[in-house]
Amino acid sequence: MLLYLRLLKESFSFAFNALRNNKLRTFLSLLGVTIGIFSIIAVLAAVDSLDKQIKSQLSSLDSNTMYVANISFGPTEVPRWKYETFDEISYNEYKFLKAGLENAEHVAFQLFVRRENIRYESELVSSVNTVVVSNEFTDIQYLEFEKGRFYNESESNAGKPVVVIGSEIANSLFGNLEPIGKKVRIYGQKFTVIGVVKKEGSGLFGDSNDISIFLPANYVRNRYGDNNRNFKNIVIIKPKEDADIAGLKADVTQILRNRRGIKPEEIDSFFINIISGLQDAIDSIIGTMNTIGWVISGFSLLVGGFGIANIMFVSVKERTNLIGIQKSLGAKNRFILFQFLFEAVILALVGGLFGLIMVWLGTLIGNNVTEDFEFILSAKNVFLGFTISSFIGLISGVIPALTASRLDPVEAIRTGM
């Protein structure tokens, strides 16, 4: 055992000295591997960061939350001309669903409307994301409040002119003033501010709550009616914790089919979109992005591997005489083999280390430039980078190392002379 350890130590020493004595050649060999490892780990780190950010944004929602609308959130077999004829989900259908679904914990109604301006005295914030929902919305998509509260069921049903605003909207309109109880103008009418949502940062899906305002759905319905073509209606359903999701979906389908008088042979004139399906679609997209990253970066790794192999063949050629002398003095084939293998692996590992350092510096710069998006370099990707580097070194160095180990000592000395 001690003999093999000594063999490994001497092989490593020979390899290290060879690399140190040929600095330019070593640098050029490192460059290919560095670029390759940087490319693939940078792509994987960016995709992991995106995946983490998306899942963080979805974490506030139950993965089984359902969105019922006349449009599909994902691919559908229903042709476009067909679903464009589907009626909007009505407020009355929302009430029927709320009353008839035993396995639903909360059912909310939402109107997707255009962006609006909000004014307080001389201060104006233009084109604000306007979230028009019933009071159950905050029970489905949990909101934390910096001040005040969300509107209650009574205010929601009556369509009271009350508003909940995001933290950035509050800062823009009121500065250091107390916003709760202040009167703001939206739709040309006065609304009372009853709550300020806690700052959360930018969102990947639509606008952040920081730059949003929340209004009772019935206020907008009472003002503009139920048949406004500029609005998109959606019913949001949060199942009970132990609910049978398939059964709940079937109940929703049956209630709406009966309500709309859809015949058995006709297709549904609505879509039930489930968050878990969206997560599956996101996972599929993330997987595709990883695959594309591997393919693109693989070419860089291939170039780096060929560069190491080429340098190793040159190294064997230059040291043919030395190899012959070593073997004539009793060096075993495996000693020569390990010597060149170690040289190739060290080259690849050092190149990989520089590549990982570049990715790490990139994450630091990215995190300083973007406040609301966190770039991460996980331990898994660091380990993967070193593993790939070692593999490239082994593959690139094995043929030159075998060639060197099989040289005849007499012919090697003669060739070197």
87 or 60, higher pLDDT = 87
- CA nearest 272: which of 254, 293, 291? 254
Taking CA atoms, 373 is separated from 96, 292, 306, 364, in Å, by 41, 22, 37, 12
Residue ranges covered by each domain of the chain: 2-58+281-416, 87-269
**pLDDT bracket for residue 207 (50, 70, 90):** low
237 or 21, higher pLDDT = 237
Alpha helices in 319-375 (DSSP H): 320-328, 333-369
Cα–Cα distance measured from residue 204 to residue 372, given in angstroms and rounded to the nearest whole number? 10
Residues 101-155 have pLDDT tens digits of 888 889 999 999 999 999 988 889 898 999 999 999 998 888 889 999 999 999 9
17 or 389, higher pLDDT = 389
Q: In b/e form, how buried is each residue of 380-415, taking b as 16+ CB within 10 angstroms? A: ebbebbeebbbebbeebbbebbebbbebebeebbee
- CA nearest 415: which of 311, 317, 314? 317
9 or 262, higher pLDDT = 262
Cα–Cα distance measured from residue 145 to residue 136, given in angstroms and rounded to the nearest whole number? 16
Which residue is listed with tokens 């001497």?
A: 10
**Longest pairwise C-alpha distance within the chain:** 101
Q: Summarize the confidence of residues 250-261 as an average pLDDT.
A: 90
Run of H or E including 413: helix 409-416
So what's the pLDDT on residue 136?
92
192 φ, ψ to 5°? -95, 125
So what's the pLDDT on residue 214?
95
Cα–Cα distance measured from residue 340 to residue 346, given in angstroms and rounded to the nearest whole number? 10
**pLDDT bracket for residue 94 (50, 70, 90):** very high
Q: Summarize the confidence of residues 39-51 as an average pLDDT.
A: 76
> What does the block give as tokens for 147?
């001040």
Q: Mean pLDDT score of the chain, rounded to an integer?
A: 80
Q: How close are the terminal C-alpha atoms of the chain, in Å?
A: 36
Is the model's pLDDT at 194 over the cut of 80? yes
232 or 12, higher pLDDT = 232
Which residue is listed with tokens 């995709």?
A: 47
Beta bridge partners of 185: 119, 190
| Contact between residue 363 and residue 376 where contact means Cβ atoms under 8 Å apart | yes
Is the model's pLDDT at 356 over the cut of 70? yes
> Residue 328, Cβ neighbours under 10 Å: how many?
12
| Contact between residue 49 and residue 374 where contact means Cβ atoms under 8 Å apart | yes
| Contact between residue 43 and residue 248 where contact means Cβ atoms under 8 Å apart | no
So what's the pLDDT on residue 220?
92
Residue 234 carries which DSSP code? E
25 or 379, higher pLDDT = 379
